[in-house]
Amino acid sequence: MIIIAVAPFVIGLDAEAHGPTPHKIDETVAIAATPEAIWALIGDFANLAKWHPLVAESAAKSDEIQGKLRVLTLKSGGQVVDGLTEYDPTKMTYSYRRVDEDVKVLPVSSYTATITVAPAAGGTASVEWIGRYYRGDTGNDPPEELSDEAATKAMTDFFQTGLRNLKSLAEHKG
């Protein structure tokens, strides 16, 4: 991987947990397995490590205000904490948001996301993972590593790598 460094000419402002421009991510994968089999893999919100190869460990936690949480230890180092916002096993979907703000671990100051298993033709399924996120530094002159591009790359890598592995796991078990 080549990282092109651009000399920052303005000092970045402080990172906030939010910012001016949210971005969309929308990743879908078709899987030759039943929706039920796929949901059996991903339906446990807390256990992302079960199917996501970038997550070394995931632990359930609960918080008075944020509700059900998952603490993800990334293979690249550091932790990310997600809070569950919606959970509907009958529709095979859940939504969550980032609760912590450590942009060094993941250069995204905040995100919300939803993952859904949808039935497809011939007893197969598709999995759609969508989200809304903000760059790491929501000031108007973010440094390269906390820019929109860095956030988009991090989110896209995370979603695509997860879905690729989910497909592989589900199809080999199927």
CB nearer another protein, residue 34 or residue 85: 85
What does the block give as tokens for 46?
């807390």
Task: Please name the residue that has the structure tokens 């060094």.
Answer: 104
Sheet holding 55-63, edge to edge: 23-31, 125-135, 108-119, 93-98, 79-88, 67-74, 55-63
Does 142 participate in binding another protein (rule CB under 8 A)?
no
Other Cβ atoms closer than 10 A to 22: 14
Among 54, 56, 74, 97, binds another protein (CB under 8 A): 97
Does 24 participate in binding another protein (rule CB under 8 A)?
yes
The alpha carbon dihedral of 33, 37, 41, 43 has a sign of positive
Does 164 participate in binding another protein (rule CB under 8 A)?
no
Q: Give the distance from CA 52 to its chain's centroid.
A: 10
Task: Please name the residue that has the structure tokens 């039920």.
Answer: 36
Among 4, 5, 11, 65, binds another protein (CB under 8 A): 65
Among 31, 33, 55, 138, binds another protein (CB under 8 A): 138
CB nearer another protein, residue 24 or residue 61: 24
How near is the Cβ of 121 to another protein at its closest, in Å? 23
Q: From CA 75, how far away is CA 48, in angstroms rounded?
A: 13
How near is the Cβ of 157 to another protein at its closest, in Å? 20
Instruction: Kindly indicate which of the ranges 29-37, 51-59, 94-102, 149-157 contains the residues binding another protein, using the contact rule CB under 8 A.
Output: 94-102
Does 13 participate in binding another protein (rule CB under 8 A)?
yes
